[in-house]
Amino acid sequence: MNRFMPVLATTVVFGVGFAICSLIYPNFASPRVVMNLLTDNAFLGIVAVGMTFVIISGGIDLSVGSVIGFTTVFLALAIERAGMPPLTAFVVVLLLCALFGALMGAAIQYFELPAFIVTLAGMFLARGASFLLSTESIPITAPFYGELAEHALLLPGGFRLTVPAMIMLAVVALCAVLLHFTRFGANVYALGGSRSAAALMGIEVGRTTVLIYTLSSVLAGISGIVFSLYTSSGYSLSAVGVELDAIGAAVIGGTLLSGGHGFIFGTFIGVLIQGLIQTYISFDGMLSSWWAKIATGLLLFCFIALQQLMLLVARRRRPRASGAGAR
């Protein structure tokens, strides 16, 4: 039961927050606001899911924001300048991202470098590459793009499920299955618990590490596709700092930064909480939008404190229990 406490706490915070906002603003609890929460945070949700894998395995991936930026610029150039069909461009860019992630994972594994440094280099590389491609914001005018951006599934009750929201929900569902119900997922947790123990258990540490960073970069690529749908353009400065928002979402969602613990669902709620704070601030209209960062920071502190507290409690209980058994 203890394992689920952080996720439960996050969900309660989100529920209470939404209820308070709805009481203050009569228009708040409307289908449009709920669907906006999903659509507006789709790109963040997708990278945050990838980040959850990385953090649970005991690593970090700082390159995702830059990968999003690179993806949008690459897509804009490939579709607009080179005349590539959008779907082909999606496949090409995702392959590029996969290669990029695999290389970072391999560098971390085989050169025994800290993930922080390798992905920091990746962050500079990807951002630099997107600036090299174009410093200007390029509009994407392909008709297919317009259709995708405006297509939406009308659900009963006036809910409009947009394509970005659909992609995010699919990613969340698929990755939850991947993490919680497959051998690969179990290996990710094992790596986060202890690398050497995982190796001793016969887990292919190298392969798993490479796969984790590949997955994170591919998800960043998908997020980039969603971002380019969202803005119908490619811009080298887009999604600056999103990696930190993603880490924040994962931690608020109950993922332990030291690895070994976390849930995809928690991260999803963590993303929604960040979105909720921003929505509240824009409904208020008088607060400085920087309060969003302050509130997120405070929440992060609270959740880290909560996690530490629970670890402490867990540690105190264990020796007592084993002591009792010896007697």
Residues that bind another protein (CB under 8 A): 25-27, 30, 32-33, 36, 39-40, 43, 137-139, 141, 146, 149-150, 227, 230-233, 235, 238-240, 278-279, 281-286, 288-290
Residue with smaller CB distance to another protein, 143 or 323: 143
Rounded (10°) CA dihedral 48, 52, 54, 60: 60
Least separation in angstroms between residue 26's CB and another protein is 4
Residue with smaller CB distance to another protein, 149 or 178: 149
Least separation in angstroms between residue 228's CB and another protein is 9
Least separation in angstroms between residue 80's CB and another protein is 11
Least separation in angstroms between residue 282's CB and another protein is 4
Within 109-186, strands assigned E span 138-139, 152-155, 159-162
Q: How far apart are CA 93 and CA 96, in angstroms?
A: 5
Distance separating the N- and C-terminal Cα atoms of the chain: 27
Least separation in angstroms between residue 86's CB and another protein is 15
Residue with smaller CB distance to another protein, 15 or 146: 146
Q: Name all contacts of 13-21 with Cβ < 8 Å and 24+ positions apart.
A: 13/273, 13/299, 14/269, 14/272, 14/273, 14/276, 17/273, 17/276, 17/277, 17/280, 18/276, 21/276, 21/279, 21/280, 21/283
DSSP track, 236-302? TTTTTTHHHHHHHHHHHTT--TTSS---HHHHHHHHHHHHHHHHHHHHH-SS-TTHHHHHHHHHHHH
- Quickly count: other Cβ atoms within 10 Å of residue 91's Cβ: 11
Least separation in angstroms between residue 254's CB and another protein is 25
209 residue type, one letter: T
Q: How far apart are CA 261 and CA 45, in angstroms?
A: 19
Least separation in angstroms between residue 44's CB and another protein is 9
Residue with smaller CB distance to another protein, 26 or 319: 26
Residue with smaller CB distance to another protein, 2 or 141: 141
* Rounded to 5°, angle at Cα 289 from 284 and 293: 120
Least separation in angstroms between residue 297's CB and another protein is 15
Residue with smaller CB distance to another protein, 149 or 311: 149
Residue with smaller CB distance to another protein, 22 or 194: 22
Q: How far apart are CA 152 and CA 252, in angstroms?
A: 30
- Residue 236 zone, left/alpha/beta (φ > 0; ψ -120 to 50; rest): alpha
Least separation in angstroms between residue 29's CB and another protein is 8
- Quickly count: other Cβ atoms within 10 Å of residue 62's Cβ: 22
- List, in order, residues 6 or more apart from 140 with CB less than 8 Å away: 75, 76, 79, 80, 228, 232, 233, 234
Residue with smaller CB distance to another protein, 69 or 259: 69
Residue with smaller CB distance to another protein, 148 or 198: 148
